[in-house]
Amino acid sequence: MNLILASSSSYRRRLLSRLGLNFSCISPDIDESPKPGENPEQLASRLSMEKAMAIREQKVNGLIIASDQVAVLNGEVLGKAGTPEKAFEQLKRASGQIVTFLTAFSIYTPGGIFHTEVVPYRVTFRNLGDDEIKRYIAIDQPLDCAGSFKWEQLGISLFEKMEGDDPTALEGLPLIRLSALLREQGLTIP
């Protein structure tokens, strides 16, 4: 079966490759702006679905996998920082707080079955000092990550606790649940 990852994310590409499947990547190129009144879970879910649909509309034949992640702190969505200053601001606000990551993924099968789920994951940050936040940003450069950290690298040192069913959801693609759905579609994993 032709497997397509609707993403330009190196993080998601690396995650999906852990399953040992052959796949190609196609960037969906969609507008990721939130819609008025849309809550964070709805936003993540809609963006994941729109990414899969954008690839489907290109008449690509195969099973399409798409994903999107929204980080939420006290009801507010944290985007990708983009700059060290914004990363500092995000991590300063997250200090001593719980940030919830809502990772949505969608699959669209060649038979026309569409499935979307949202997998939550919670991270409790320890109290962080300004100097350690600056050192962390300089070392890990988490500017392209929602919430401004890379848990799979030095970012793990910023936490007091992690909670959820699938730690890969925190990185951007929930492999436990995705694997189950891919097996239902006839793929052999492992």
Residues annotated catalytic, as ranges? 68
Which strand (E) or helix (H) includes residue 60? none
Write the CB contacts of 57 (distance below 8 Å, at least 6 apart in sequence).
none
Write the CB contacts of 80 (distance below 8 Å, at least 6 apart in sequence).
143, 144, 145, 146, 148
What would the two tokens of residue 119 be? 């997998």
DSSP state letter for 146: B
Give Cα 187 to chain centroid, integer Å. Answer: 23
What would the two tokens of residue 168 be? 């890969």
